[in-house]
Each structure stands twice: as structure tokens, then as C-alpha cells.
Amino acid sequence: MTTQTAKRQLTPVSFTQVTLDDPFWAPRQEINRRISIPHMYQMLVDTGRIGAFDLNFERPTPSPIVLIFGDSDPAKWLEAACYSLITHPDPELAALVDQVADKIISAQQPDGYLNTHFTVTQPDMRWKNLRDWHEMYCAGHLMEAAVAHFQATGNPKLLNALARYADHIDREFGPNPGQRRGYCGHPEIELALVRLYHATGERRYLELSKYMVEERGQSNPHYYDVEAIARGEDPRKFWAKTYEYCQAHKPIREQDKVVGHAVRAMYLMAGVADLAHEYDDPTLLAACERLWDNLVHQRMYLTGGIGPSRHNEGFTFDYDLPDETAYAETCAAIALVMWNHRLLQFAGDGKYADIIEQTLYNGFISGVSLAGDSFFYVNPLASTGSHHRTPWFECPCCPPNVGRILASLGNYLYSTGDAALWVHFYAQNRANVTVDGKPVQVRLTSNYPWEGAVHLALTLDAPQRFALKLRIPGWCDAWAVKVNGAPVDTATTDHGYITIDRIWQSGDVVTLDLTMPVQAIYAHPNVRQLQGRLALQRGPIVYCMEGVDNSGIGLERIALDPAQVPAFSVDYQPDLLGGVAVLRGQGRAITDDGWNSHILYRRNHPSSVAPVDVVAIPYATWDNRAPGEMRVWFRAA
Amino acid sequence: MTTQTAKRQLTPVSFTQVTLDDPFWAPRQEINRRISIPHMYQMLVDTGRIGAFDLNFERPTPSPIVLIFGDSDPAKWLEAACYSLITHPDPELAALVDQVADKIISAQQPDGYLNTHFTVTQPDMRWKNLRDWHEMYCAGHLMEAAVAHFQATGNPKLLNALARYADHIDREFGPNPGQRRGYCGHPEIELALVRLYHATGERRYLELSKYMVEERGQSNPHYYDVEAIARGEDPRKFWAKTYEYCQAHKPIREQDKVVGHAVRAMYLMAGVADLAHEYDDPTLLAACERLWDNLVHQRMYLTGGIGPSRHNEGFTFDYDLPDETAYAETCAAIALVMWNHRLLQFAGDGKYADIIEQTLYNGFISGVSLAGDSFFYVNPLASTGSHHRTPWFECPCCPPNVGRILASLGNYLYSTGDAALWVHFYAQNRANVTVDGKPVQVRLTSNYPWEGAVHLALTLDAPQRFALKLRIPGWCDAWAVKVNGAPVDTATTDHGYITIDRIWQSGDVVTLDLTMPVQAIYAHPNVRQLQGRLALQRGPIVYCMEGVDNSGIGLERIALDPAQVPAFSVDYQPDLLGGVAVLRGQGRAITDDGWNSHILYRRNHPSSVAPVDVVAIPYATWDNRAPGEMRVWFRAA
């Protein structure tokens, strides 16, 4: 009897219409294009990931799982390269992309199947272990690559190949007689099939995605039990013990905690959000909101990192947020952004944009070095100095994932709705958007995220009435808005946005001034690891301290006085770490007084403390200088 | 040109001469005898560990390593049972011990070899992988069992069998032509061979032990490389990466950090200490002292637990002492006691007795439940409530190790020297010792460790002059001594002992009053995990808080004021946890004010605090009631 709708009211503006020229993202995008994408290609070649599509390799059986799902890495690279081509045409890269696309197509089997590992090494094991072997995950990433390739080149050859593969999967799996009721242990294909549906117009792909989401976690019997028994295995001997690991422990509509492998959970929920919209299904949207509440209010790091545990690359229990051992995989931050971007479009609730911003500026972009040629897989919130980015990984899922998000980062800035233009972020950019079918050019200038002053100029063909929706970030307590120099009363926000509804003239200028003080952040009393602690944040930027700036003492010796934090100075340093605002202030540090190397514990005499100057830098930029300690959360004292 | 000696000046009084009737250990020994030893036997039978000596089993190859070294577990059980028989004759247990001894003997091969796994499952792999497969480790534990069996029964059959096995090993391994230069990846046989030498008088066993210690870590070439290559393996692919894991990265005399697997390190060093004495070798004693300094001053938990990391079951780096993830294996605490007991005998330096006491009363005895039928393998210093003792383990090394130490605990109380009687601990007991060849009966009464008042009555055949050496524990700052009611000036200690040198008469009474306040303990500023924290200790007992006593709040919410700690009350509760002194006081706890389940982080508003009554119990007794949180180190505020 619900009357709630689950259709999206907003439509994101594509990155193809947005050109960033801000101090934070534009250099990252440039490095991504010039350094990271070529670097990743070379690594994929060197590790045989590209050559695998020649179907001419030897592998032991059983093979390491990272080899089994190796097709997904070139797929993500191809997606990144295609996005880059759209914004920065490049004949050389275009030729390479064409070559890789042809290679992928050449590996397709007559029945449409397209997976190098199972074609070459274990043809008899095709589709025999959906739980563990990532076949549909690889298919999904290839589908996303195909959609991007068609978008970039207009050439449908790869799209057609992946449609044939989707047809194959659609014949094999489903609820009908003669089909197996399977779905992938690593979700991804669900959201990919929705993209494939939009790119091809073939509604069967949407239906297949819906089937996969709804079959997931059904248990009479459970498909992963069935296929394990068919392999001669005891399903109870699943290493992860329960199907929570792959979010298949119960149907999605019955899940109320975000569990298991973090990337899997987020990709799945992105697909669920897509289907909620496509089928106008409030029960799927409700599942999203329920799991979002649990994730954001009980299981997310301040950086937007998610999944504290290395063991399952994922979630543990509510309020368990260790800092030094945080897993917080880069791919999980990416998938968190993808899911929230989908949720944001339903009703324009700024709480989703808050998560996107918090994650992009911190726990996502920490994943790549400023030089663009080394990466974090794991993004802890404290380090003894032994954690460093590396050029590549045995499981290289993160680098090309960073690549595709950076290349399409413009996706996240704007949405349009009925008589509405939504501005989610304030990174400097030029955008060509369409509101109610009419073109609007936006020139947004700012020094965001280092300063909160935003200047927004509109160019229209003709005067046009629409609501300009400006996001007031969750971190912001005070702001001022002017239109053409005249103050506007925007004291109240609606779900995180202020609205200026008027007939806009070409040349209208809106200024938004977001007050951006240094803030002390505290964690819920149930987060045992963070009690008596504070973190530093300014605007969307979470800060950390590094040994190199705070030399001579261990960072855990430093305590910060909450009352002093607002007095920390903000010092923009153009030559440091690509240009960052550092924070400077005073803390108190435990001294060596009375201690020596022959005393580990002492009785009744607490350590003495002394004032110490401290310097904090943006978390995302750590480990770009001399290796050393890093810490986000400090003792408050 | 050194003139230092490395001969032991002290001789420990055997547990066979000491009967504990104190409130702490006597009940533990009783439970060990009545519950743990039968329980462990049953578990060993049920898991096939005893039956293995029938040489009639099937195992896959490669077998799990815990099966490969399965002989060591019955060996330790047999050692425990034999010690128990010595102090508590028991025909039923004696019959069982005889039966197990016969079973072990029956598995011996004509050439003396005695290992069930390699005899039955992989006869071709005998002695092919000393690095990983624990063959000599098992041999060592069997030798220790054989020595105990001979001591308990006077029957030399098992001792003879193990001597034959030692002869076999002595033929196979050594520095002579035709011998292989091997030694075990898991030290243990080194100390066992010294015991076997003393039990049999056969000096070759001592020489073999010396060879093994001195060959260890030699690298021209390294034996573990040689044997790996002989197996067709690449030695660089050793999972632990370096031979630090088994303390074979360099010769012992060149080692200056305690590294690798903690139990291996401690067993090795116990053997090294034995050899220092046997060969009067100051260079070996210097190695002990060097590694002891590193261990005790940079790498030991307050509880006497050692080895923070699960990964290598061992050491990481200086000052790395995480509490919740502490590994601190029970066997490592045991081996730490064994090593320090050996070091204590060289010159009677109380610093070694301090470590023994700290470990026995805390991180050792935490390893077994009060009921005696479940065990900790891992002894963390904080728990979210998910860590519990279990009746058995896939690798059951710890339970019988606890059993043999408890059954022989009297070993640690006294030593004798030339005209000297050393009292190391003050647990209530009766002892028959011999000083300069003459019998001295000691009756020590106390309520230690709950009270510091000690009463010591001597019974002698005739007046006798000797120095009574009373240990002043490292935790004690104030004490008073009387002889026959008259105060004695004992303000100064020599290496932790006071000396009363006089002609003792039968009936003389010495009283020692150790002041035992509640103390706050602080960790070195380099221990990053413990900055701004304190722990509670009274006497030798390290305290913790458990959820069950401090209900309704998370333990990490509690902060303790250092100034309040001395005012904590001490409340002996005879009906709690077998009778313990609990500490009661007031702390401050973070409240939920202003927080709810929809706020994970908040800006600029620290959590509020409120006074809270707290109760602390002895660390070793946690997890004996309702499961829940536990914590040793508290925020100081």
C-alpha cells in the first residue's frame, strides 16, 4: 500500500560536459592521463594480463585466484582509457584502445563466452564455481569497458561482443526451466548489465540484472551449496564460513547490516540502487537506505574508507574502526562513491553527496601517489612507517579503478532535474548542462577545497526559470550567498541544499561563501579505538601528521587540546605536495624524561609532557615524501 | 682475556622438596592434577595423538604441520603426569603412564629413530626438512618426558629408548665427516639433551647440544638452504622470508635482538643458558644477557606475555606492544619462565626472578581456566569479548605445557648456594632443602600474593651458619624484616635480595613485610599503543577490568586518574574466582550525551564524561565468568 516512488528525480551531468581546472583534481586528472594510464598499461602487458586474450598461456591448476579474475584488470584500464579519450583525444591512445578491444573480441568463443582463464586453463570448470571464481565479475567489467568504448569511439564492435556474452549468460542463468539459478560471488555484473541495457536498449539485460539481485541469498536450496556439492565439495568448508562474505547469506530485501567483502557489498548495492530506479521499486530503495544507515553511522572511517579487516577485505562489526590495521581498500572507497552517486540522484539528499565528497577528497585519492605511478591497495589511518604505495600488486584491482574514476570525475559535480540545476561540489570547472532542454553554461571558479569562496557565473541562451540548488556540505556551519552581489536569505537548507528559484539571466553571478574553520572531530563512544581522541578536518579535507613534518618524536606521543584546535593556522603552501593547505598549531608531547632504554614500564610516575609545534597535512597526500609515521587520530588532552 | 665465569652459583631446589599450600597455586595444582591431566589425556586419545604410537594411521601428504609434530603433545603430557606422580602417587595414573611409555617405546625403529609421522607417512622424508618439520623438537620433548619418567618411576626403559634415539641423532648430525650439519628449526632438543646428559651421564648428549647451538645460523653454506635445495625447493621461497623466524639468521653469539617465533627463541635461549654453565662459557652467557635486555626492556608485555604477532607467533620490532591483538602465546610465557629460571641460578640476580614472578602470576596462569578444562593459546591484554578459552586446539602445544609447569611449580621457589639459602617467592609452602649438605626444613606461611606479610620458620638438625637471601620483588618499594621478633636492618638490597647472614637455630622465625599498595604502571614513550595509558598492579598481580564487573559501558570509555589509583580499595573476595583481591575505585567514563545511533562523528564537541565506579580483577582470572570485554591498559585522564 506504499505510495512512495523509487524513481530518480535527478539526472547526473556527464563528465563529458564538465571540465575541471581546479587546483586539487585537475592536476590529478592530468597525471592520471599522462602517467598512470600508460604506466598501468605497461604493467598489464608485463604481467601478461593483456596478452592473456591471445589465449596462449599456461597456468597451473588450481591457479591463484588473482590470475583467474585477471580479465577484469585490462577491462578497467580500457574503461579508464576510453574516458580519457573522450575528454582528451589522443590518436596514439586511441590506437592502443582499438588494439586492446580487438584482442578482447578475439578471445570470444563461438557461443559468446569470453573469459581467458576458463577458455585456456580450465574449460571443463566454466561456470562451476560462481561463488569463488569471479567469472561474472570479469564479464561485468568487460561490459562496462564495452559501454565506455562505444561512448568513446562510436564503434559498436566491443559492445556487440559483450552483448553476445550477456546473451550467453542470459541463456545459462535464470529462473526458467533448463537454466541454473546462479549469480556471482563477487557482484559487479548487476550494475554492468544495467549500463549494457542503456547502451544497447536490450531490456533482457535489465531483467537479468534484476534476476541476479533477487535470486541472491535465496536458500531453498542455496545455489552455492548446490554448485559446491556438484564439484564434490562440502559447502560447509567454505573458507569464509558464511555467505555473508559475498552478501549472499539472505535476500537483499532482508539484509539490515552491511557485511562481508566491502567492494562486493558496494558494487552490489550500486546495482540494487539502479534497479530500484529502473523498476520503481521502493523495497529495493529501502534496502539501500537501511544498509546505508548501518554503513555510514556504524562502519565508516572518517576518510570514507570502509572495511576494517584484512581477513575478509571487509566488514567486521558495528563501531569496529581500528586505525593502524584499517584495510579500507581503495576499490571499496571507489565503490562507495559509485553507490552514493546513484543514491544522490533519487531525491537530491545531500547526505549522499557528503559521503561522496568525504571519500573522494580523502580515502579515494589517497590510493594513488602524486606522481601517479604507485598505489595504495590498503589505506590505514595510522602507520608506523612501513606502509607505502607500490607500482603494482599481485591483485591489481585498485590502480585501474582509480584511473577510471579520475578520468570521469566530472560525473560527480552536477545534476539536473525538472526546472532544477544541482551543484554538488565546488571544484573549479566549466560545464555545459541542459535544464529543461535548454543549454546552460556554468563557470564555477573557486580555490576549493583550500578556500570556501565560490563564484558561479551562468550563461543562458535566454532567461529561464529554474531552481539553482547549492549544496551546503555537512562540515559547514556558516555560509553566505549573493546573487549579482545582493545577499540572498539562504539560512535554511533542505536535505543539505539551499535553493535559489528565480528567472535566471545570462551573466548572472552567484557567490557562495562557505566558512571553513579548522575542526576537531570526535567519534561515537562505541568506537573503542577512538575514545579520548580527535582528528583534524578543514572543509572536506581530513588531516594527518607525518613523521617528516613532526620529526624527533613518535606521533602517538602527541596530544592535542580540543580548545586549541580552532586556533590552528592554515598555511597554503603551493610548493608542498602539489599545493596544499597545511595546519600548524601547538600540541603537547610526552617526553623521555626519566626514561631510558632499560626501563619498559615504571610505577607511579606518569610520563612528563612538553609543548610541541605540530604540522598536519591532508591525509590523502601522505607517503609522498620521506617514509615515516602517519596518524589521523590524536589523543585529546 | 676475560676472567668472568659462567658457572651457576645457585642450585634450584627441586619441586619434589617443596609442597605449596598457598591460596593461589595450591588450588591450581590440585585442579591440574584432578581435572587438567585427565582431560588432556582424553583429548590426546580422541585426537589420535596417543594412538599414533601404534604406527597404524593414514595421513595425507603433505600433512598439516600440526599433525607432523604431534608426538610432542603426548610427550609433554607424560612429563606433566610424571611430575604429578612424584608429588601425588596415584596407581591409576601410574598405570596409564606406564602404558603410554610402552606405546612410545614400541614405536621406536631398529635404528633408534622414534617419530610416528615420518615412520608411517613419509619414511622417505626423514630428516629432510629440519627447518620446518620439528623432528628434533619432538625428540626433545620425548627426552624430557623420558627424564621425568625415570625420575617418577625409577624405571629406565623410556630413558634408555630416548638415549638410543639421541645416539641415532648423534650419528646422523654433527661436524664430522659423513654427518649432516643440521639442527632443528624449532629449538627444544638443545635443552632436552642437557637434561638427558644429566639423567644418563652420557657426555655425548651435552656435546651434541653444544654442536647444535653453535652450528645454528652458520652460513657457509646455510644448512636450511642446503636441505631445501636437496628437496628441489628454492630456499628463498621460505614463507617466513628470513631465518630470523627460527633464530638461525646468524650465530647465537652474534645475535643482539630477540627475533622470530617466541617459543623457539625462548627454548633456544634456555639451552644456551644451560651450555654457558656446562662449558663455563661467558660468551654464551653474554648472548643470553644481551637478548634478555632487548626482550625485557623493549619487547615484553606487562603480563610477561611475549611475541605480539600472530603472523610469526613471535616478535616484531622494539616497543611494538599492541594489546587487543597481542599473541603472547601461553607456551612463550612458559618458555620465558624456563629461561629466566636458568639465568637466575648464575648469580642470583633478582631481575630474573622478577620476570619469573611477573609471568607466572599473570601471562602464564591466564593460559588455563579456573576449572582446568579449557585453555588460552593466545593471551591478549584487551578483548572485545570474542576471545575465550577452549578445551583443546588443533595445535595443542599449550595445555600440556601448562600442565607440566603447574605440576613442577615448586621448582621456582628456592635455590641453595655455598652457605646460602635463597627464597625467590613467597607462596605459602613447606620445603626440605639442603644447605652445605645439611637438611633445613622451611615452613613459609603467607597469604601471598594477596598480602605481603611473610612468616618463615626454620627447622635445623643443629645450629648452622648461612646467608638467608630474601628477594625484594621489583614491584616493592618498602619492606621490613624481623628475626625472632627483632627488627633487622635490611634497607639495601643486592641485586634484588636482602641477606641475613647468621648462625641459624632451629625454631628461628623470620618475618618479612612487603608493602603492597595499588600501583599505576606506565609504559615507555616509544610504546605507541600505550601512550596516555596506565595499568593497575598490586604486588605481582596485574589487574584488568571485565565487562561483567563494569557493566553498561564499553571499557574503552573508562579513564583513570593517576592521582586516584593509590586510593583504590583492595577487597579480598573468597568466593570470587577462587578467591581473589579485587580493586575498587572511581574513574571517569565517556557518556552517550548528545550521541545517537545516527551520528558516527561529530564536530567540535568532545564527548562528556561522568564519574563511574570501577572494579578490577586479576588479569589471569579473566574469562572465567560471563563472556565480555576485558582490558588491562586504561586511558589516564
Residue A5 has pLDDT above 90, yes or no: no
Judged by CB atoms closer than 8 Å, whether chains meet at B601 and A525 is answered as no
d(CA B27, CA A335): 57
Nearest Cα of chain B lies from the Cα of A597 at a distance, in angstroms, of: 7
Looking at the DSSP assignment, which residues form a beta bridge with residue B611?
A: B588
Type of residue found at A399: P
pLDDT-derived band of residue B491, with 50, 70 and 90 as boundaries? confident
Whether omega before B611 lies within 30 degrees of 0, making that bond cis, reads: no
At B130-139, the pLDDT tens digits run 999 999 999 9
pLDDT-derived band of residue A553, with 50, 70 and 90 as boundaries? confident
Judged by CB atoms closer than 8 Å, whether chains meet at B597 and A298 is answered as yes
- φ, ψ of residue A439 to 5 degrees: the values are -70, 140
User: Closest residue of A to B535, CA-based?
Assistant: A603
pLDDT of residue A551: 77
Judged by CB atoms closer than 8 Å, whether chains meet at B297 and A556 is answered as no
CB of B447 within 8 Å of a chain A CB? The answer is no
Closest residue by Cα to residue A343 from A431, A410, A412: A412
For residue A180 the three cell numbers come to 541454473
DSSP assigned state of B374: -
What is the β-pairing status of strands A420-423 and A464-471?
Answer: parallel
End-to-end CA distance of chain A: 54
pLDDT of residue B1: 40
The answer to which of B64-68, B157-161, B285-289, B319-323 has the lowest mean pLDDT is B64-68
For residue A164 the three cell numbers come to 553476445
Residue B3 has pLDDT above 70, yes or no: no
d(CA B563, CA A606): 10
Q: Say if CB B80 and CB B404 are below 8 A apart.
A: yes
Q: Say if CB B57 and CB B50 are below 8 A apart.
A: no
For residue A299 the three cell numbers come to 562502519
pLDDT-derived band of residue B202, with 50, 70 and 90 as boundaries? very high
**What is the helix (H) or strand (E) element at residue A158, kind and residue range?**
helix A157-172
pLDDT-derived band of residue B2, with 50, 70 and 90 as boundaries? very low
pLDDT of residue A220: 87
pLDDT-derived band of residue B565, with 50, 70 and 90 as boundaries? very high
For residue B496 the three cell numbers come to 634484588
Q: Say if CB A299 and CB A608 are below 8 A apart.
A: no
Residue A552 has pLDDT above 80, yes or no: no
pLDDT-derived band of residue A1, with 50, 70 and 90 as boundaries? very low
At B253-273, the pLDDT tens digits run 999 999 999 999 999 999 999
d(CA B512, CA B524): 31
CB of B552 within 8 Å of a chain A CB? The answer is no
**Per-residue buried b or exposed e for A380-415, using 16+ beta carbons within 10 Å of the residue's own CB:** bbbbbeebebeebbebbbbbbbbbbbbbbbbbbbbb
Residue B596, number of CB atoms within 10 A of its CB: 8
Among left, alpha and beta (phi > 0; psi -120 to 50; other), residue B298 is: alpha
Domains of chain B, start order: 22-234 (no CATH), 243-357 (no CATH), 416-514 (2.60.40.1180), 518-636 (no CATH)
- Which residues in A lie closer than 8 A to residue B566 (C-beta atoms)? 604
Tell me the three state secondary structure of residue B171. Answer: helix
Our CA angle for A83, A85, A90, nearest 5°, is 160
**What is the helix (H) or strand (E) element at residue B147, kind and residue range?**
helix B135-153
User: What is the rounded average pLDDT of the residues A11-30?
Assistant: 98
Closest residue by Cα to residue B188 from B1, B367, B23, B404: B404
Q: Say if CB A374 and CB A323 are below 8 A apart.
A: no
Q: Say if CB A149 and CB A74 are below 8 A apart.
A: no
Residue B14 has pLDDT above 90, yes or no: yes
One DSSP character per residue, A264-301 reads: HHHHHHHHHHHHHHHTT-HHHHHHHHHHHHHHHHHSB-
Q: How many residues does chain B have?
A: 637
pLDDT of residue A408: 98
Give Cβ neighbours of residue A612 (< 8 Å, ≥ 6 apart): A550, A553, A558, A586, A587, A588, A589
User: What is the rounded average pLDDT of the residues A317-335?
Assistant: 98
pLDDT-derived band of residue A91, with 50, 70 and 90 as boundaries? very high
CB of B320 within 8 Å of a chain A CB? The answer is yes
d(CA A197, CA A140): 12
User: What is the rounded average pLDDT of the residues A347-370?
Assistant: 98
At A487-506, the pLDDT tens digits run 999 888 999 999 999 999 99
Residues of A with a catalytic annotation lie at 313, 397
- Among residues 219-248 of chain A, which lie with CB inside 8 Å of chain B? none
CB of B492 within 8 Å of a chain A CB? The answer is no
- Which residues in B lie closer than 8 A to residue A297 (C-beta atoms)? 597-600
At B45-87, the pLDDT tens digits run 999 999 999 999 999 988 999 999 999 999 999 999 999 999 9
pLDDT of residue B553: 83
Size of interface A-B (CB pairs under 8 A): 127
Residue A437, number of CB atoms within 10 A of its CB: 5
- φ, ψ of residue B44 to 5 degrees: the values are -65, -35
| Interface ipTM | 0.96
Residue for grid cell 531490456: A203
One DSSP character per residue, A555-600 reads: GGGEEE-GGGGGG-EEEEETTSTTSEEEEEEEEEEE--TT--TT-S
Residue A459 has pLDDT above 80, yes or no: yes
For residue B95 the three cell numbers come to 598405570
For residue B321 the three cell numbers come to 606492544
At B610-632, the pLDDT tens digits run 999 999 999 999 999 999 999 99
What is the β-pairing status of strands B634-636 and B558-560?
Answer: parallel
pLDDT of residue B50: 97
Residue for grid cell 595425507: B60
pLDDT of residue A51: 97
Closest residue by Cα to residue B471 from B419, B530, B412: B412
Residue A174 has pLDDT above 60, yes or no: yes
Nearest beta carbon to residue A601 from set B522, B532, B592: B522
At A209-220, the pLDDT tens digits run 999 999 999 998
At A297-316, the pLDDT tens digits run 999 999 999 999 999 999 99
Among left, alpha and beta (phi > 0; psi -120 to 50; other), residue A631 is: beta
Give Cβ neighbours of residue B236 (< 8 Å, ≥ 6 apart): none
At A585-631, the pLDDT tens digits run 999 999 999 999 999 999 999 999 999 999 999 999 999 999 999 99
**Cα B331 to Cα A252, B82, B354, B401, distances in angstroms:** 45, 19, 19, 7
Nearest beta carbon to residue B600 from set A524, A537, A590: A524
d(CA B367, CA B456): 31
Hey, of B298, B300, B531, B631, which one would you mutate to test binding to chain A, going by the most A CBs within 10 A of its CB?
B531
Q: Say if CB B461 and CB B439 are below 8 A apart.
A: yes
Active site residue B233: no
d(CA B30, CA A189): 62
Computed from CA positions of residues B400, B403, B407, B411, in that sequence, does the dihedral angle turn out positive or negative? positive
User: What is the rounded average pLDDT of the residues B23-36?
Assistant: 98
One DSSP character per residue, A441-484 reads: EEEEEE-TTT--EEEEEEEESS-EEEEEEEE--TT---EEEEET
Residue for grid cell 600508460: A38
Q: Say if CB A261 and CB A245 are below 8 A apart.
A: yes
Closest residue by Cα to residue B364 from B405, B415, B312: B405
pLDDT-derived band of residue B362, with 50, 70 and 90 as boundaries? very high
Judged by CB atoms closer than 8 Å, whether chains meet at B636 and A606 is answered as yes
Give Cβ neighbours of residue A237 (< 8 Å, ≥ 6 apart): none
CA torsion, ordered A215, A220, A223, A225, to nearest 10 deg: 150
DSSP assigned state of B583: E
Give Cβ neighbours of residue A486 (< 8 Å, ≥ 6 apart): none
DSSP assigned state of A226: H
CB of A636 within 8 Å of a chain B CB? The answer is yes
d(CA A540, CA A524): 19
Give Cβ neighbours of residue A575 (< 8 Å, ≥ 6 apart): none
Closest residue by Cα to residue B589 from B603, B608, B564: B608
Give Cβ neighbours of residue B341 (< 8 Å, ≥ 6 apart): B12, B352, B356, B411, B412
Q: What is the mean pLDDT of chain B?
A: 97
Q: How many residues does chain A have?
A: 637
Give Cβ neighbours of residue A445 (< 8 Å, ≥ 6 apart): A428, A454, A455, A456, A457
Q: Tell me the pTM.
A: 0.95
Share of chain A above pLDDT 90, in %: 97
